[in-house]
Structure 1
Amino acid sequence: MSLVQPNTRPKASQKAPGRRNENNRIYANPLPIIFADEPEHPSVLHKALGLLPGISLTRVLNPHCEGVFDATTRSVWVTDMKHVMTLWQRGFFGKGDLSRSEPSWLARQVNARKQARTGLTSEEVTAKRRAERKQFKLDRARAMAAAAAEAEAAFKEEGRVISTVYAADGTRIIPSAATWKPSQPPQDPVRTPSPAESEDEDDTDVPIENVEHLQLTLSEAFFLLWSLDCLSVTHPETGNALSLTQIWCAFQNAHVPSPSPSPNLDPPERRFDNPFLVNYVAYHHYRSLGWVVKNGIKFCVDYLLYKRGPVFSHAEFAIIVCPVYEDPADQESSPFKLQNASPFSWSWLSTLNRVNAQVQKTLIMSYVTIPARSRVSDAVLSSPACFNHYSVREVIVRRFIPARMRD
């Protein structure tokens, strides 16, 4: 079943044209693999290489990124900042471990250092505004008292009634909040540096060490190294690159409790309902359709689907992965307790649907059918070729609103 586009809705805000154009330039490539343009004069190069004019000279540029497998967090860590920005800017893969999404910890620290040098903190700005507001009230009360005294004296001496707001030349006597200027500038709040700032006062020119890394989920890492062949995963202790067979075993063993933090490279117990296999089937399905797939734990779902990426727009779809056993006997004998594999209550579904409806996301239940062991031999699980035996079905869930759905 193909995904339908959600109902069009007016967007509350639009990014500035300059920023939107900059994002289009930075995030122009949807995947790490890019295709180089042909030379300006291909006929000359064809003659030099002895090729026919009809043969294309488009080159495929595939970056080589490196990551370290961490079995404890079930993720792959990318520490090289060049590789980090390549994976983030070309497909929005992973997230910064010290950031909400984009790995921007270093940029935030640099901006904080500049703010400490040239400006005030948010607390100091608030204190300064409160002092200005207090001074405005004092000046206004002083002006009101002076205007009242002048009007009373004019009435007693000359019997004239004068305005207590405007003077004879039309100028305003009592200041307003829009035009008020302080008679005496309020004193800036005294900033007491912390002991850490006092010690680091002389080290402001020392470059900040970037301690953030990009954290890839197992599904993202396997998609990059198996489908795109642009990532290599190394062993955390030896530093040696792992082969595809070793990665295939380690990613499945990561979901099996182990007393050792070292990755288990032994052949796992071959089961079609391994959580890594089920989650990757759903991830690969939507990535192959062109969607940017991100974690959806913030909205109580498994995945969020973006049309282009988080910097362009909000997610349009929220995905719940629901494993379905082709043979119910496999579920009874399974050592894994897959989420959403058992029937859930309507109250839970209504709650989940309401949460995503409030943030204008369409809820999709993605049913991943797990093949029966009696039909498919265990030898198929020795390689990623086993993904051909899974299937994905989608059901869109929407709230019924009588006022909007009368037809």
Structure 2
Amino acid sequence: MATAISNKNRNRGPGKFGGKRGENNRIYANPLPLLFPDPPSRVASVVGLLGLSLAPIENPHCTGVFDDATRSVWICNSHDSTILWRRGMFGKGDLSRSEPSWLARQTNLRNLQGTKLTSEEVTARRRAERKQFKMDRAKAIANAFAEAEAAFEQGVVIKPTLSGPNIPSAATWRPSPSTPQSEAVNEVPLEDRHESDEEDLPPLEDIEHLQLTLQEAFFLLWNLDCLTVLDPTTDRAMTLKEIWTTFQLSHLPREIPSQDLPIQPDNPFLVNYVVYHHYRSLGWVVKGGIKFCVDYLLYKKGPVFNHAELAVVVIPVYEDEEDEQNSVFSEQRNKAKPFSWTWLNTINRVNSQTLILTYVTIPSHKRVAELGDSPCVFKEYSVREVTIRRFIPARMRD
């Protein structure tokens, strides 16, 4: 029986999405920008006995520019953007949903072929088809009621049927040949195109850049040493000390002077980076979760493969209550202090994923001052997690 089943599965083929999944596994095979090529087998076998490795490290050394207005680092080189996205899915395109695909969308629009649609184009087509399905179904239901009204006027009482071949359903409905106006522009017959029209068009220029959050940028430059951040005014490479200070100052309220201000342990950059580093070190792909009213979304392999598995809300907890009262961020935290049962149920309802409340213990000013103003203060932070699962009766009957 097991042999018959295995033969049946072997002859089934890759499936509907098998080819695309295999291509994604090949493109996004590396979880980090750093590559570790395998050394020659004979050398590896001899050196491996000593517990050593001769595998060289390939470091891409990407370059970005700090932008204070958006609190992010811009990767304007398309080659560097491709590396950072395909090796760990860092950042997002400023003109795209996630992967920088603006140039591909414009190329598809110019070629009028659409052989390989981007994620944005697939979503737009799916929404247009869903809209057309709702319109067709509403029209069919209205016709059924009109027939019932006409029969009633003739003295015959019938009950309008809201199902059957005349009423389309989501399982059997197919798009009609007449496409919506939003897609009709992209489906010009190839025989009606003229080469002169294409020659008159200017060449496409990629104006999109990859936008890294400050947490992603600091993780790449501090842990992996594969990112160089340039100063936007002088266009020179910033040192680690300058980056460490600049990223913290960008989160300070504008009315507070930053001259000679000591390190603030509850700085949002530090608190959020502790959480980002924690989950990245566990192998998760960490992305922003503002769309679902949370701080982070955790993916097993990335948004290209599947939806987020977990949603994370960062909750700071002060070790010293006096630090919380004297904090320069107290006004911001009081405005955004939503941790009530109403808020919790709302967040849990919005997210179909498992919700994780991540409590970050902020060390006291005294302990941080003893360590100095450097990234070594991260060892004083601690992370605790509380998992909340949404109760769904249809899935949790057992």
Give the equivalent residue in structure 2 for 1:390.
381
Is 1:226 aligned to residue 219 of structure 2? no
CA displacement, residues 299-335 of structure 1 (integer Å, 9 cap, x when unaligned): 1100000001111111000000001111121111111
Contact 1:322–1:339, Cα closer than 8 Å, also in 2 = no
CA displacement, residues 347-381 of structure 1 (integer Å, 9 cap, x when unaligned): 11001101113xxx10000000101224x142425
1:209 Cα offset (Å): 0.5
Give the equivalent residue in structure 2 for 1:247.
243
Give 5+ residue unaligned stretches, structure 2. Answer: 1-14, 116-120, 137-173, 175-183, 189-195
TM-score where L is the length of structure 1: 0.69
Q: Distance in 1 between matches of 2:292 and 2:298?
A: 12
What secondary structure is seen at the aligned counterpart in 1 of 2:317? strand
Give 5+ residue unaligned stretches, structure 1. Answer: 1-13, 134-177, 179-188, 194-199
1:42 Cα offset (Å): 3.4
1:116 Cα offset (Å): 8.1
CA displacement, residues 131-158 of structure 1 (integer Å, 9 cap, x when unaligned): xx9xxxxxxxxxxxxxxxxxxxxxxxxx
What secondary structure is seen at the aligned counterpart in 2 of 1:111? helix
Contact 1:225–1:231, Cα closer than 8 Å, also in 2 = yes
Q: Distance in 2 between matches of 1:330 and 1:402?
A: 44
Give the equivalent residue in structure 1 for 2:29.
28
Contact 1:326–1:372, Cα closer than 8 Å, also in 2 = yes
1:400 Cα offset (Å): 3.9
Contact 1:113–1:204, Cα closer than 8 Å, also in 2 = no
Q: Distance in 2 between matches of 1:201 and 1:219?
A: 46
Aligned ranges 1:295-314 → 2 under 5 Å: 295-314=288-307
Amino acid at match of 2:296: Y
Amino acid at match of 1:243: T
Amino acid at match of 1:396: T
Contact 2:44–2:53, Cα closer than 8 Å, also in 1 = no
CA displacement, residues 23-69 of structure 1 (integer Å, 9 cap, x when unaligned): 1110000001110111255389x9xxxx9985532111111000000
1:204 Cα offset (Å): 4.8
Is 1:349 aligned to residue 350 of structure 2? no
1:90 Cα offset (Å): 0.3
CA displacement, residues 200-240 of structure 1 (integer Å, 9 cap, x when unaligned): 94655532010000000000000000011100100011110
Q: What is the aligned residue count? A: 313
Give the equivalent residue in structure 2 for 1:113.
110
Further displaced range: 27-36 or 325-334 = 325-334
Contact 2:355–2:388, Cα closer than 8 Å, also in 1 = yes
CA displacement, residues 183-213 of structure 1 (integer Å, 9 cap, x when unaligned): xxxxxx999x9xxxxxx94655532010000
What secondary structure is seen at the aligned counterpart in 1 of 2:298? strand
Assess, with a 3 A threshold, how the Cα gap between structure 1 residues 109 and 266 changes in structure 2: closer, same or farther.
Answer: farther
Give the equivalent residue in structure 2 for 1:368.
360
Assess, with a 3 A threshold, how the Cα gap between structure 1 residues 17 and 257 changes in structure 2: closer, same or farther.
Answer: same
Q: Distance in 1 between matches of 2:363 and 2:275?
A: 15
Give the equivalent residue in structure 2 for 1:273.
266
Contact 1:271–1:381, Cα closer than 8 Å, also in 2 = no
Give the equivalent residue in structure 1 for 2:74.
77
Amino acid at match of 2:21: R
Give the equivalent residue in structure 2 for 1:97.
94
| Partner residue of 1:58 out of 49, 55, 69 | 55
Contact 1:247–1:265, Cα closer than 8 Å, also in 2 = no
Q: Distance in 1 between matches of 2:375 and 2:33?
A: 21
What secondary structure is seen at the aligned counterpart in 2 of 1:61? coil
Q: Distance in 1 between matches of 2:263 and 2:312?
A: 27
Further displaced range: 276-285 or 365-374 = 365-374
Q: Distance in 2 between matches of 1:403 and 1:30?
A: 36
Contact 1:323–1:341, Cα closer than 8 Å, also in 2 = no
Assess, with a 3 A threshold, how the Cα gap between structure 1 residues 43 and 106 changes in structure 2: closer, same or farther.
Answer: closer
Contact 1:323–1:340, Cα closer than 8 Å, also in 2 = no
Q: Distance in 2 between matches of 1:309 and 1:190?
A: 33
Assess, with a 3 A threshold, how the Cα gap between structure 1 residues 208 and 321 changes in structure 2: closer, same or farther.
Answer: same
Which of the two has greater helix per residue? 2
Identity of aligned residues (%): 57
Q: Distance in 1 between matches of 2:348 and 2:382?
A: 24
CA RMSD of aligned residues (A): 3.6
| Partner residue of 1:286 out of 279, 293, 316 | 279
What secondary structure is seen at the aligned counterpart in 1 of 2:54? coil
Amino acid at match of 1:37: D
Amino acid at match of 1:67: G
Q: Distance in 2 between matches of 1:105 and 1:339?
A: 39
